[in-house]
């Protein structure tokens, strides 16, 4: 898309968002004029309103909503917070700039006259309201101009244009390309790459190790990490690279239920952000992380195993029952194996077998033998 066309799209979106926010305010004013209890319908963001779309293989949000009203003692503060955040978001949209989540919190934080109460006590409150408004407006907060802390990294043979600056991700040394919070077209653009696939690793330390070994050059791939539970920018960029450049995605995590869930987030999306899945999930992503068979095959010693905790066993049962896992025989087998094994094995342990063992032996074996879960 040409820059002039991108500008038109941005202006049209700005106009639409501004109109939607004005409409929310007008509805409240009209309700007050006829002595009705002011309210706004907020899409319900919980497991009860999330379903697994079997056709598209990703999580979607249902149509359930909750009515947030002013003349309700338990909801009056959250109603006020919703209106306050909406008004500040309109300022950001009209200004055409970006603002951080923390900065927006301080824009909204103030004392309530005649009381000892604040509009917001901590950022967690305003973050939740922002996600609520995303649902009301049916847009991503990135499109509104809200910037979050980013932690993702990328390296490999690809050139990006980030806010007008051309960046060769294969020439950024040990630090790699820091994936920004907003990676929409017009902010981050890219063209064709010679890379054949994307390897996403759970942990930043693992990414650093593989990047130092130039694994991306040896296997002709892009190397990415979300630094644990991935941030939205990392998930969104991965989705774009996969769909726009037709690059297969492989996810490498620990052998534990938390790592398995991180894979699920990359693949199907997350429950809390089901409205974001269509723009961020990669249903074709394959799991190439540590499995029980690796413990035996690569003779990982017992003193490198970590005992599972009660919360781990509980989480295994919860995740095994999710719609997107419960009919999957391969995953059900892995869940049973890890529960019976009663230990977790981290990807970091592979370095104990040699600093370059992961890049020279372990991962090449996994790819060569197609030892992954679909």
- Domain architecture of the chain: domains with CATH: 3-147 (1.10.10.10), 153-368 (3.40.1360.10)
Average pLDDT over residues 289-301: 92
Say if residue 132's pLDDT is above 80. yes
Measured CA to CA in angstroms, residue 282 lies from 24, 34, 236, 302 at distances of 34, 48, 10, 35
So what's the pLDDT on residue 7? 65
How far, in Å, CA of 95 to CA of 111, rounded? 25
List the catalytic residues.
106
Q: Using a CB cutoff of 8 Å and minimum separation of 24, what contacts does 4-13 make?
A: 6/185, 6/186, 9/186, 10/186, 13/139, 13/143
Name the pTM for this structure. 0.87
Q: How confident is the model at residue 4 (pLDDT cuts 50, 70, 90)?
A: low
Instruction: For the chain, report the end-to-end CA distance as a whole number of angstroms.
Output: 33
Q: How confident is the model at residue 3 (pLDDT cuts 50, 70, 90)?
A: low
Say if residue 121's pLDDT is above 90. yes
So what's the pLDDT on residue 311? 96
Q: How confident is the model at residue 14 (pLDDT cuts 50, 70, 90)?
A: confident
Q: How confident is the model at residue 6 (pLDDT cuts 50, 70, 90)?
A: low
How far, in Å, CA of 163 to CA of 192, rounded? 18
Say if residue 198's pLDDT is above 60. yes
So what's the pLDDT on residue 47? 80
Mean pLDDT of the chain, nearest integer? 91
DSSP state letters, 278-317 = GGT--TT-EE-S--HHHHHHTT--GGG-EEPPHHHHHHHH
Q: How confident is the model at residue 254 (pLDDT cuts 50, 70, 90)?
A: very high
Segment 38-75, tens digit of pLDDT:
999 998 888 888 888 889 999 988 889 989 999 988 89
Say if residue 164's pLDDT is above 90. no
Average pLDDT over residues 3-26: 77
So what's the pLDDT on residue 2? 54
């Amino acid at each position: 898309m040409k820059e002039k066309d991108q500008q038109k799209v941005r202006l049209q979106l700005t106009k639409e968002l501004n109109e939607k926010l004005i409409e929310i305010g007008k509805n409240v004013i009209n309700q007050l004029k006829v002595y009705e209890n002011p309210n706004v319908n907020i899409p319900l963001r919980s497991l009860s309103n999330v379903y697994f779309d079997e056709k598209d293989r990703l999580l979607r949000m249902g149509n359930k909503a909750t009515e947030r009203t002013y003349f309700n003692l338990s909801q009056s503060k959250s109603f006020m917070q919703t209106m306050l955040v909406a008004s500040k978001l309109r300022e950001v949209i009209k200004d055409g700039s970006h603002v951080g989540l923390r900065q927006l919190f301080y824009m909204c934080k103030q004392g309530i006259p005649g009381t000892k109460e604040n509009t917001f006590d901590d950022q967690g409150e305003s973050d939740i309201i922002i996600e609520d408004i995303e649902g009301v407006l049916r847009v991503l907060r990135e499109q509104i101009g809200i910037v979050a802390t980013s932690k993702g990294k990328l390296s490999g043979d690809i050139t990006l244009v980030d806010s007008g600056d051309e960046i060769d991700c294969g020439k950024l040394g040990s630090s790699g390309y820091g994936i920004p919070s907003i990676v929409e077209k017009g902010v981050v653009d890219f063209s064709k790459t010679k890379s054949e696939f994307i390897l996403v690793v759970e942990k930043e330390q693992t990414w650093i190790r593989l990047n130092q070994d130039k694994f991306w050059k040896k296997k002709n791939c892009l190397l990415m990490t979300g630094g644990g539970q991935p941030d939205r920018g990392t998930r969104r960029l991965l989705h774009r690279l996969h769909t726009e450049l037709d690059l297969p995605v492989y996810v490498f995590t620990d052998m534990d239920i938390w790592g398995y869930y991180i894979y699920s987030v990359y693949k199907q999306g997350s429950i809390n952000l089901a409205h974001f899945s269509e723009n961020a999930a990669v249903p074709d992503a394959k799991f190439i992380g540590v499995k029980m068979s690796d413990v035996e095959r690569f003779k990982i010693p017992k003193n490198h195993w970590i005992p599972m905790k009660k919360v781990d066993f509980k989480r295994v049962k919860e995740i095994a029952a999710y719609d997107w896992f419960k009919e999957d025989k391969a995953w059900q087998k892995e869940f049973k194996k890890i529960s019976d094994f009663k230990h977790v094995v981290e990807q970091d342990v592979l370095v104990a077998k040699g600093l370059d063992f992961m890049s020279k032996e372990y991962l090449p074996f996994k790819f060569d033998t197609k030892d992954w879960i679909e």
